[in-house]
Amino acid sequence: MELGAIALLVAAAVMHSTWNLLAKRSLDKQVFLWLAMCACSLFFLVPVLYIWQPVKPAAWLLILLSGVFEAVYYTVLGKAYQSYDLSLIYPLARGSAPLFVVVLAFVFLRESIPASGAAGILLIVTGIYTLHIKRLSREGLVAPLIGMREHNSRIGLLCGLSIACYSVVDKAGVALVRPEQYIYLVFLASCVFLAPRMLIHRRPQINVEWSRNAPRVLVTAILNLGAYFLVLVAMTQTKVSYVSGVREMSIVLGALMGTLLLKEPFGKSKILGSVLIFCGILCISLLK
């Protein structure tokens, strides 16, 4: 893998984890993320119009479907960040997504799972378990069996499932539409789907969030789409499987940001769990 591609993916990982940190520090997380998506749609309208190409009807169906899954993802992610730690939710959501993709492919598409894939699944499951360890004792090691049934774990896994769903749809979508145009239209669709709820039921929160955090909203918009753009560029320089694995170093960065910058508790177990999840994703990426 070339150093240039690695540098792009490191930058993308930093940008992705940073905008999640900004979202965690906002007042109303769901409103903040929706405002950032709206800002994305405005910022990149002119560039997309400049490169615009006709979109086939089949591609529009995929765009709308992915937009639904993206809307679900940002809604659930905002709800998760409203109550739970960045260093738990971020690794749980990002780490469980490739696990769901492999399992769904095995169940519904009858795709086989080679040794590297099995090792990756085991590492991810172990990492998710480790995220929930709060102390090194007999009771502490057994506690995750109960903790992973709690609401914070379920909502984190729901984030991962929604990521897996839109990732599968996007794989088909970018084969029909140039990636830059496709991802913009998906963001725009998700904004539109969430707009009625936000404008009707959350208008006071929108006014407060914008007045308090407008600069952070704008930075998040740029980082969000910018990170994905760097990933697309890296895909032109190396294998997609390498990109999908290395980009998830953001999982470790997210755990570090949560424990070091936000002073969230149980940092050692969360960082160790994130490292295990990242290693598992690297193993799964060898499947492709």
CA neighbor of 277 nearest in space, from 167, 84, 125: 125
pLDDT of residue 124: 83
Residue 138 confidence (pLDDT): 53
- The amino acid that residue 195 corresponds to is A
274: three-class secondary structure by DSSP: helix
| Rounded-to-integer distance, Cα 226 and Cα 282, Å | 23
The label of the residue with tokens 């407060």 reads 208
Question: 18 in the Ramachandran plot: left (φ > 0), alpha (ψ -120 to 50) or beta?
Answer: alpha
**pLDDT at position 227:** 86
Q: What is the pLDDT of residue 215?
A: 94
- C-alpha distances in Å from residue 267, one per residue of 33, 81, 169, 259: 26, 17, 34, 5
- Dihedral (CA of 22, 27, 30, 34) sign: negative
Residues 230, 238: Cα–Cα separation, whole Å: 13
CB 249 within 8 A of CB 9: yes
Prediction pTM value: 0.86
pLDDT at 99: 79
Domain ranges of the chain: 3-285
Tokens linked to 247: 């980009």
User: What is the mean pLDDT of each successive set of 10 residues along the chain, which is 288 residues long?
Assistant: 76 92 93 93 88 90 93 93 88 83 72 75 81 61 52 80 85 83 91 94 92 94 85 70 72 90 86 88 71
Q: What pLDDT is recorded for position 20? A: 93
- How many CB atoms are located within 10 Å of the residue 55 CB? 17
pLDDT the model gives residue 111: 66
CB 264 within 8 A of CB 86: yes
pLDDT for the residue numbered 185: 92
